[in-house]
Amino acid sequence: MKSGLNKMAVVLVLLLLWEGYVRIAHVSPLLLPAPSRVLVGLGVYLENGALLRYTWQTLKMLLAGMGIGMLTAFGLTVLATTSRWGRDLLLTLTSIMNPLPGIALLPLALLWLGIGPRSLLFVIANSVVWAVALNLHTGFETVPLTWRRVGQNLGLRGWGLIRHVYLPAALPYLLTGTKIAWSFGWRTVIAAELVFGASGQAGGLGWMINLERYNLNTTGVFCGLVTIILLGFLAEAFFEAVEAWTIRRWGMSAG
């Protein structure tokens, strides 16, 4: 609770400094709109429903891409846990693909899949899969041997052992990987939507930012940026709640 109040205080101070600077220096709204102006703009976007449509489009693509990436990462991790060649496959692919920014594969995605949702899903999934796979694989590797032997003595094999022993033990690593995947996914989807926007394709918040930039509506650009920031705060609060309900409650964290 105290941490949340401190964060709100920091944000409030920054907004006051921003507002004061714009008013005292008489900065043109074309260059830097005041927070009060951005707030009015947000109200207009909410009233006409445009902001909700843009936000939903981005969230829909982001969650779908994350789902694909996380399922792929889980499959690769299970394969790496159950076989030596699967482990080598995961580590090799991770070494090759993880250094590449997700957006760097967008030109290939456009060539292979065309301009549309499939290309966007491809680059989002690629930006997500390796971070999740690395963290989950590390979590599986750190499961104590005693726990594995106990599970095997209870008759657990294959999927049963992974479900009842590996996954619960690796939950902190899975949560960390999911948080990293969320941040990587956000960066990728906004960057990709900016490219699609430049191609004249309707999209989400990234397309909105690009469109308002083209129309010289700096307030609209800031409305899109503020929306992304607010969603980031909500996601952070959600992950903290999940961590409190699970790994902290079960004594898996010192927090």
- In three-state form (DSSP H/G/I as H, E/B as E, the rest C), the secondary structure along 55-118 is HHHHHHHHHHHHHHHHHHHHHHHHHHHHCHHHHHHHHHHHHHHCCCCHHHHHHHHHHHHCCCHH
Instruction: Return the closest-CA partner of residue 170 out of 205, 136, 125.
Output: 136
pTM of the model: 0.83
User: In the prediction, which pLDDT does 70 show?
Assistant: 92
Q: If the chain, 255 residues long, is cut into consecutive pieces of 10 residues, what is the mean pLDDT of each piece? A: 72 87 86 90 90 90 92 91 87 86 82 83 91 90 85 81 85 89 89 67 79 89 92 89 81 58
Task: Give me the pLDDT at residue 252, please.
Answer: 65
| Residue 198 confidence (pLDDT) | 46
List of residues 6+ apart from 171 with CB closer than 8 A: 139, 246, 247, 252
Q: Which tokens go with 59?
A: 């969230």
Residue 155, both tokens: 């008759």
pLDDT of residue 1: 58
The pLDDT value recorded for residue 66 is 92
Integer-rounded Cα radius of gyration of the chain: 22
CA distance 71 to 77: 10
Cα gap 33→222, rounded to integer Å: 8
